[in-house]
Amino acid sequence: MTGSSPFPPTGAPEPAETPPSRRGWIITLAVLLAAALVVIVVLLLTGDDEEPAPVTSPTETSAAPTSPAPEPTESSSAPVAGCAPTDATTPAGAEVVTVIDVDGDGRPDQAWLSGDDTRTFGITTASGATSSLEIDSASPVAASAIVNRIQADDIPIALVDLGREALVYSLADCAVTPVHNAQGEQYRFDRGFAGAGTGVGCTDDRGVLRLAGLNAVADADGKYSVTRTFVDLSAGGRDATNGEPAQVAIGAAADDPVVTTAQEVSCGDLVAGTDGPVEPGQ
């Protein structure tokens, strides 16, 4: 016989494939649901009032905020004003010479000697301050002076040469003040008149000038021995203390610098009669 089999075909029929357009909608919906879930989680973690922190790419770096550079400040050290101006002035006819800065304002000052009946030594600063003192000496020799700074504390002093003695003045604290010895009297260096010394100098001691009395003594052959005695001043230069004498030359010729220096009044490179005022009219 011919015709159709009465039995159905074996095997279940295969399901029909999902149309492509429907599959695209399903994927899009899944992505949207996942994104919504991420947003919900972030909102739950950060709160409703805060925005989620921006996500940076692994290849990007976030620059740390920099503080503005501090404003430059002026130096706290103000320049020294110098001595306050005074009504006193340099007397007419005085011998005036420009000297070192005495009051520390960075400007050179002036030293002077008057030629009046009352001999006077004085300082007039660039700031307009004048201080002076009558020279207490009976020496008839014309006065001459030099000004310098000595010791580690940089004390300004004046040495006034009177031929047979030399007087020491402190110029600290805007005043000409006599330096006193251990007996409380004005310190006087002998210049050969009393047999205790012949000159005054300021010796360089490890970079610092130190005041010293000098004594040059000749032997029978005309050769000299020279001794030096350091004189240390107190703070402000008001008082002087003698050190121990030390011999600095033996058998030196008369023209040896160590001998000539011991017979003059000097301080560093400055020599009285050459590098400072000289009493006028002499």
Check whether 129 has a pLDDT greater than 70. yes
The pLDDT-based confidence of 25 (bands split at 50, 70, 90) is low
Of 182, 232, 196, which Cα lies nearest the Cα of 211? 232
Higher pLDDT, 36 or 261: 261
Integer CA distances (angstroms), 102 to 89, 99, 110, 221, 229, in order: 17, 8, 9, 44, 26
Integer CA distances (angstroms), 81 to 30, 129, 196, in order: 85, 12, 42
The pLDDT-based confidence of 199 (bands split at 50, 70, 90) is very high
Higher pLDDT, 80 or 196: 196
Compute, in degrees rounded to 10, the torsion defined by CA atoms 205, 206, 209, 214: 10
Tokens of 91: 């007397």
Check whether 276 has a pLDDT greater than 80. yes
pTM of the shown model: 0.72
The answer to the question of residue 56 being in a domain is: no
| Mean pLDDT in residue range 24-38 | 64
- Angle CA 141–142–147, to nearest 5: 120
The pLDDT-based confidence of 8 (bands split at 50, 70, 90) is very low
**Structurally, how many domains does the chain consist of?**
1
Of 164, 149, 176, which Cα lies nearest the Cα of 233? 149
The answer to the question of residue 63 being in a domain is: no
Q: Write down the pLDDT at residue 179.
A: 98
Tokens of 95: 């011998």
Burial of 191 (0-12, 13-18, 19+ CB in 10 A): buried
CA gap 148, 152 in Å, rounded? 13
Residues near 121 by Cβ (< 8 Å), separated by ≥ 6? Answer: 111, 112, 113, 132, 133, 135, 143, 145, 158, 160, 169, 176
The answer to the question of residue 130 being in a domain is: yes
Domain housing 262: 95-271
CA gap 114, 126 in Å, rounded? 19
Q: Write down the pLDDT at residue 118.
A: 87
The answer to the question of residue 167 being in a domain is: yes
CA gap 192, 190 in Å, rounded? 6
Q: Write down the pLDDT at residue 237.
A: 95
CA gap 33, 30 in Å, rounded? 5
Check whether 44 has a pLDDT greater than 90. no
CA gap 63, 87 in Å, rounded? 67
The answer to the question of residue 78 being in a domain is: no
Q: Write down the pLDDT at residue 282.
A: 59
The answer to the question of residue 41 being in a domain is: no
The answer to the question of residue 259 being in a domain is: yes
The answer to the question of residue 64 being in a domain is: no
Task: Of 64-73, 202-211, 215-224, 241-250, give the lowest mean pLDDT range.
Answer: 64-73
Q: Cβ–Cβ contacts within 10 Å for residue 254, how many?
A: 12
CA gap 82, 127 in Å, rounded? 6
Mean pLDDT of the chain: 83
Residues near 241 by Cβ (< 8 Å), separated by ≥ 6? Answer: 182, 231, 232, 233, 234
